[in-house]
Amino acid sequence: MTVEIKKEIKQRYGKIALSGNSSCCCMPGECGTDASPIEAAGLIGYDAKDLESIPKSSILGVGCGAPIKLADLKEGEVVVDIGSGAGIDAFLAANAVGKSGRVIGIDMTDEMLEKARKNATDGKYTNVEFKKGDVEDNIPLPDYSIDTVISNCVINLTIDKTKAFKEIYRILKKGGRMVISDLITNKELQMHETSSEQWCACIDGALTKENYLDAINKAGFKNISVLDERIYMEDNARKITSLVIKAIKE
């Protein structure tokens, strides 16, 4: 099942990269919505003015929040964006940390990496690079090397959330912070109840709020706080909520 899910994730997000998300998948609400990627980004918290400052093709409308707005990035910092996609958060972070800072996007989908690298070249971003990696298995960066890790609705796609958070913890410097958005649920599914398609949509792999925060705690993080919480979708079966979470490596 794990192999099947990861294969499905790569296929789905590879298609999103190639199409520019013209099918509107993995946006707030259901696939098939009429919202454009830029409109969808606005729905989850991005400012239109900020989006005008980065390559338009980096905005695919996927995600469930805008953790970049609450990360308090400072000039000169080294930032990692987990599941960087076409580069939206990486480029916004690059604008915040300036030429003296550095941003590294990590993604496991070849098509996304190719699109992000082209966007970086076209946008003349010299302080951004994109690397292939799987947050659950190995982030290709040294221990204690990063000031801040950001991520937008990506850890939810992993099978073992605690393992993913341990990798993030490993690369952060002492005192470093993680600021991420993700989805939680009021009712978890057992693995045999899930489908790879719904897992890829960040639904079937969702944990309860208690278990999600516990996974962060088990990875070693302290001072864990929920910065924002809002309903993402709700039906008769489950309620899905979007959180923005901050945690510190002491």
pLDDT band at 23 (very low <50, low <70, confident <90, very high): very low
Average pLDDT over residues 221-241: 92
Please give the model's pTM, rounded to 2 decimal places: 0.93
124-142, pLDDT tens digit by residue? Answer: 999 999 999 999 999 999 9
What is the distance of C-alpha 104 from the center of its chain? Answer: 13
Q: Kindly report, residue by residue over 55-102, the tens digit of the pLDDT.
A: 999 999 889 999 999 999 999 999 999 999 999 999 999 999 999 999
- For 175, counting Cβ atoms within 10 Å of its Cβ (0-12 exposed, 13-18 middle, 19+ buried), the class is exposed
Q: Residue 21: its pLDDT value, please?
A: 55
Helix (H) or strand (E) holding 132: strand 128-132
Tell me which of 10 and 130 has the higher pLDDT.
Answer: 130
